Structure 1
Amino acid sequence: MGTRISLSIVHPEAENLLEKASHMLADYEARFSANNSKSALMMVNQQAGIQPVHVDSDLYDLIQFGKKYSLSSNLALNITIGPLVKLWKIGFTDAHVPEQKEIEEKLKLIDPTDIKLDADKRTVYLTKKGMELDLGALAKGYFADKLKSFFQNEGVQSGLVDLGGNVLTIGENPKYEDGYWRVGIQKPSPVRGDLVGVVLVKDKSVVTSGIYERSLKVDGKKYHHIFDSTTGYPIENELASVTIVSDESIDGELWTTLLFMFSPTAAIQYIDSIPGIEALIITKDNDVKMTRGIVPYVVLF
């Protein structure tokens, strides 16, 4: 999954459950990956413009969820972004700034209305050749929620699922009297573990996304991996990172993506109006902004 994974639970059969969880993750990665030519997702991409592809129910559900929010968010989230991601290749050794003509060609292939879903047959069809789905903006959250459900169904009452920037807590932390988990909030820096502070949570998800995670520098200009589907270039605004606290991890993934289309102030105001979702934003000037509900639970260093 391109990141460090850490799973920790309190349970008499912990080792056995953790082994099963690791097999679950390997299975998800094998089927949902946009970089594995033999994955189920890539089968859908390879048949773009040719024919519908029958997929497993979990993959179908995630694609359906992704299409819904790609359409309703005015492309702030866009699961058809694959051709653009693979054109720029930011985060890979051959990353480069494409020609404008190349970008314009790829923009024709990133329209989520061109995803045709058949619920009865459970098929996915991309109507244009060259289209590619990329579920990277949602998949880790989906996997984390599935792991939490698995652990809880097995009787786990305390644990931590950490999928590299995506942390999901189960119950209370047995190491602290107050029962809160301390989840670090990364500074907008490529150095892992360089924290601006911690957020205290119980039985919640904490997801952080930032422009520092993968970037490319060319002729003094820095390009990051979060794209604007209308221009084909990385989004340009004052946001450096977004952290979302929510009940479910997939909601955290969704909102860390959607908020990158807002200004810092507008993003906080918007999330303040949504029950059950809290946000902490760090600007490029290292200014920290928080929703009202999260303030008592954040300790800044």
Structure 2
Amino acid sequence: MEEHHHHSRRSFLQGKAAAETLAKQALEWLESKTALIDRLPSDPALHVRASRRAMACEFAVQYHRADRQAAGDFLDAFDMIEAVEDELTIYRDVSSVVEINRHAAESPVEVNGELFGLLELSLNLFQATKGAFDITSTPLSRVWGFLKRAGRLPDELEITEALSCMGSDQLELSSQDQTIRFLQPGIEINFNSIGKGHALDRVAEQLDEKGIGDYLWHGGSSSILARGRNRASLDECWSIGLRHPLQPECRIAEFHLRNRSLGTAGGATQFLEIDGKKYGHILDPRTGWPATGTYTSTVLAPTAAEADALATAFYVSGVEGAADICSNRPDVGAVLVCPTENDAKIRIHAYNMHSEDWTPSQDWQVSI
């Protein structure tokens, strides 16, 4: 049986316990082969890792062993992630989002500044992506069964009814009063496609206030935030590998992050299979059906929230949507891995990706 060591918070913050516990966690933190992205190996003598489960995934931080005096601050950052989850979750009886969903169709609901900022960003992204990103898609996820990870194939009437209760254009925000109101009954909001990135951004703000830099955060296998320098690397970047969607043992590219975030989306890990046909869990909020035509969508952006949301949006809208956004956002880069006529081959499309951002494998052709 695996042995676990427990330390009080006081002893943890005193140093030795922190270093020993985090070093042990570094060795134990193994990644699933189904992950779309993977961190490249690092020397445990140079890096320390710690992790905690939140938002139905594993959040983890990697930083330098020389900075282990900041262990307590990183523990506080995990507390921040849990606080964000408490605020955004729809899977509990009480949260800020649950209260919005209960009352915003009746009257405006006042929210705090951080949540209002997230609502504004979500509405802006809905407009910029022409509806490919939409935080009101809960009714659609419900009829497909993906909301409770119990997939089912709905009929056309169910999909039509779900679509009639959706649309971020039915959200009315008042910056003066810091409120949100639903313009029709049946609307619900859900931050599943942006929440992890938002939590990482909140963590970065908290650590910045404490003067702490040089670290890499993971939120599951899809959300990453890098700050400062990786002092254990010659190029001082934090390196992340992108796995082949059909051959997960192969890496098709390596991303180099520094003061940037990365988000990735794909349908390989969650899907519904009926009569041999697979229906992915990422739904197109414009049509009501699972998005098709893309294996994985990876986005580099200034914030983790944007990277998260745009990765989902580009998976839904495909290469045309990615090209459109990236043509107007030079600070956003994207890599879409798509199928070809040959089921065994892939096509890689890259937008605003420069040599300092990534190193694609020479085994696959990249369209730019």
The answer, yes or no, to whether TM exceeds 0.5 is: yes
Q: Give the letter aligned to residue 359 of structure 2.
A: V
Give the C-alpha shift of residue 108 in structure 1: 0.9
Counterpart contact for 1:91–1:225, Cα < 8 Å? no
Over 3 Å counting, the alpha-carbon distance change for 1:114 and 1:290 in structure 2 is closer
Q: Give the letter aligned to residue 254 of structure 2.
A: V
Percent identical: 20
Note the alpha carbon deviations across 1:184-217, whole angstroms, 9 max, x for none.
Answer: 21332696x8643321222221211112232111
1:187 — aligned with what? 244
Counterpart contact for 1:9–1:156, Cα < 8 Å? no
Provide the C-alpha distance between the structure 2 equivalents of 1:6 and 1:273, rounded to a whole number of angstroms: 32
Counterpart contact for 1:87–1:98, Cα < 8 Å? yes
Equivalent of residue 228 in structure 1, options 275, 284, 287? 284
4+ aligned runs moved over 6 Å, structure 1: none
1:56 — aligned with what? 112
Over 3 Å counting, the alpha-carbon distance change for 1:91 and 1:283 in structure 2 is farther
Of the structure 1 ranges 118-127 and 152-161, higher mean CA displacement relative to structure 2 is found in 118-127
Counterpart contact for 2:97–2:189, Cα < 8 Å? yes
Counterpart contact for 1:91–1:214, Cα < 8 Å? no
Of the structure 1 ranges 51-60 and 74-83, higher mean CA displacement relative to structure 2 is found in 51-60
Equivalent of residue 218 in structure 2, options 157, 162, 184? 162
Provide the C-alpha distance between the structure 2 equivalents of 1:89 and 1:13, rounded to a whole number of angstroms: 45
2:228 — aligned with what? 171
Given the alignment of the two structures, is residue 260 of structure 1 paired with residue 315 of structure 2, yes or no?
A: yes
RMSD: 2.4
Equivalent of residue 217 in structure 1, options 269, 273, 276? 273
Q: Give the letter aligned to residue 259 of structure 1.
A: F
Which structure has the larger Rg over C-alpha atoms?
2
Note the alpha carbon deviations across 1:48-92, whole angstroms, 9 max, x for none.
Answer: 533332222211221122123223432111111111112212274
Counterpart contact for 1:188–1:212, Cα < 8 Å? yes
1:71 — aligned with what? 127
Equivalent of residue 347 in structure 2, options 260, 268, 287? 287
Counterpart contact for 2:80–2:202, Cα < 8 Å? no
2:51 — aligned with what? none
How do 1:117-136 residues align onto structure 2 when only pairs under 5 Å count?
A: 117-136=173-192
Give the C-alpha shift of residue 173 in structure 1: 0.8
* Ranges in structure 1 where 5+ consecutive residues have no aligned partner: none
Over 3 Å counting, the alpha-carbon distance change for 1:5 and 1:129 in structure 2 is same
Provide the C-alpha distance between the structure 2 equivalents of 1:173 and 1:17, rounded to a whole number of angstroms: 19
TM-score, reference length from structure 1: 0.89
Q: Give the letter aligned to residue 31 of structure 1.
A: E
* Ranges in structure 2 where 5+ consecutive residues have no aligned partner: 1-54, 341-345, 364-368
Provide the C-alpha distance between the structure 2 equivalents of 1:35 and 1:229, rounded to a whole number of angstroms: 21
